[in-house]
Structure 1
């Protein structure tokens, strides 16, 4: 059994994982998908003082309170900053970091540094009149939709879980000054179906901080893949879960290095099935 902790991104709540959680649980894994402070069942706590540090504390508190270890920590979008900073403080409890169409910061970087368009979002807070509340992004014409969601029923459901985002979340820096955090394996999952103008993605270095080859997977869908492609996303996460079972087995002298194969793009009929990367990848990095 692996332990998955799924961390939602800006504006969302833990409810966005509702289609993924049962798929992981039915495979025998333990899954946690909390709402961060200011969202979902914690929406009443939304305030100008809520920032990246608040959300990092949320994740660390849950892990410590439930005494979780060997956690596969998944961060979507903005939560790439959250999981990075959380792992920096408790690296001994984290088995794997998964950046799901997420911001991937260096030490001391803010969301604005990683994704320059974030400054535009901060400017929206000023225009909203509050000075600190960033309203959810508006729906766009297909194929972009609302966070990449285009089905009308799914959009209506998504709207029920959205809250404003405090500007401090985008202004506070991530901290990765603990050398131990760089030893944690990483996997990057990119949603490549539709990317709105102004959104940029940093190239993933060929060699990850722990010295292993980069593992980059792609899903042919929009940003909120947990809503639009939950089965395909779960398939990728389950691969990591199976790898985690291998590396956690008692040593018996056998080679435990898993063979994952090539980084690949999961596909559905009608989508390009070509590999984006062709290098052989062993242990995820």
Structure 2
């Protein structure tokens, strides 16, 4: 098998990092990833590019689909909330009997994995936030729906479903067309409910990946990047790509994730 090389841009103060996929070899242990998609998505959005590449690097990968979205749209109802989505992922961990999991959340998925860390920390090793929200006990999140959005929700979403947001500007047209019919209106309570913090915040390894293209300084993700990039309790990476990095920078995304998995494999 030919060695693959994936390159990503790290923090400006850091050296540029290059990750090489390993040559074919015996592996006594592989890392286990559970990937949680963002709003209006599904496992389908990660299965197109990232999941196959990450599995090819030798790791075990589960891509969850949250209730009411993707191939589970038929389960949508007004009562679906953030707790429902947290339980979805906790169930994957329990029923697949997973331990030492690298739990990955993209965008809205950051709210979900934070909730899972509160309920299932004993099954986790590392939290990875991909251009994602990072709720805290001091700021548990919970979106206030604007009057304009609520008017559309009432008119087109039966009063409880939120329409998909616009695609990032750097996303290829063919991907936009492919994804459009697969994106689902999402139950509003998943956005408005704050994350529950019922246990002490676990001392898990944490990584933040900021996607810098198309970001206004007022973006919550831009603000998080400024906050976390110099925080010694976080590992920080910056990619010169748009918000949907799984479409626009899948190799760079896999380079970061596989690097985390390989470090866990080595016990680093």
Kindly state the Cα deviation for residue 198 of structure 1 after the two structures are TM-superposed: 6.2
SS in structure 2 of the partner of residue 175 of structure 1: coil
SS in structure 1 of the partner of residue 89 of structure 2: helix
Q: Partners of 1:122 and 1:197 in 2: how far apart?
A: 26
> Could you report, residue by residue, the CA deviation over 1:217-267 in whole angstroms, capped at 9, with x for unpaired residues?
1111111100111111000001100111122xxxxxxxxxx4xxxxxxxxx
Alignment of 1:80-95 (within 5 A): 80-95=110-125
Alignment of 1:121-132 (within 5 A): 121-122=149-150, 124-128=152-156, 130-132=158-160
Q: Partners of 1:99 and 1:200 in 2: how far apart?
A: 13
Alignment of 1:92-103 (within 5 A): 92-103=122-133
Q: Please tell me whether residue 48 in structure 1 is matched to residue 78 in structure 2.
A: yes
Which runs of 5 or more structure 2 residues have no equivalent in the other structure?
A: 1-29
Kindly state the Cα deviation for residue 28 of structure 1 after the two structures are TM-superposed: 1.1
Q: 2:173 aligns with which of 131, 142, 152?
A: 152
Q: Please tell me whether residue 109 in structure 1 is matched to residue 130 in structure 2.
A: no
Kindly state the Cα deviation for residue 160 of structure 1 after the two structures are TM-superposed: 2.8
Cα distance, 1:197–1:134 mapped onto 2, change above 3 Å = farther
> Could you report, residue by residue, the CA deviation over 1:140-174 in whole angstroms, capped at 9, with x for unpaired residues?
xxxxxx13453111111111320001110111111
SS in structure 1 of the partner of residue 84 of structure 2: helix
Q: Partners of 2:107 and 2:147 in 1: how far apart?
A: 15
Residue in structure 2 matched with residue 182 of structure 1 by the alignment: 202
Q: Please tell me whether residue 8 in structure 1 is matched to residue 37 in structure 2.
A: yes
Cα distance, 1:177–1:122 mapped onto 2, change above 3 Å = farther
Cα distance, 1:102–1:66 mapped onto 2, change above 3 Å = same
Which runs of 5 or more structure 1 residues have no equivalent in the other structure?
A: 139-145, 248-257, 259-285
TM-score, length of structure 1 as denominator length = 0.76
Q: Please tell me whether residue 218 in structure 1 is matched to residue 233 in structure 2.
A: no
Kindly state the Cα deviation for residue 193 of structure 1 after the two structures are TM-superposed: 1.1
RMSD: 2.2
TM-score, length of structure 2 as denominator length = 0.80
The total of aligned residue pairs comes to 234
Kindly state the Cα deviation for residue 38 of structure 1 after the two structures are TM-superposed: 0.8
Residue in structure 1 matched with residue 87 of structure 2 by the alignment: 57
Q: Partners of 2:106 and 2:64 in 1: how far apart?
A: 13
Cα distance, 1:121–1:226 mapped onto 2, change above 3 Å = farther
Deviates more, 1:152-161 or 1:122-131: 122-131
Cα distance, 1:186–1:123 mapped onto 2, change above 3 Å = farther
Q: Partners of 1:199 and 1:117 in 2: how far apart?
A: 16
Residue in structure 2 matched with residue 262 of structure 1 by the alignment: none
Residue in structure 2 matched with residue 137 of structure 1 by the alignment: 165
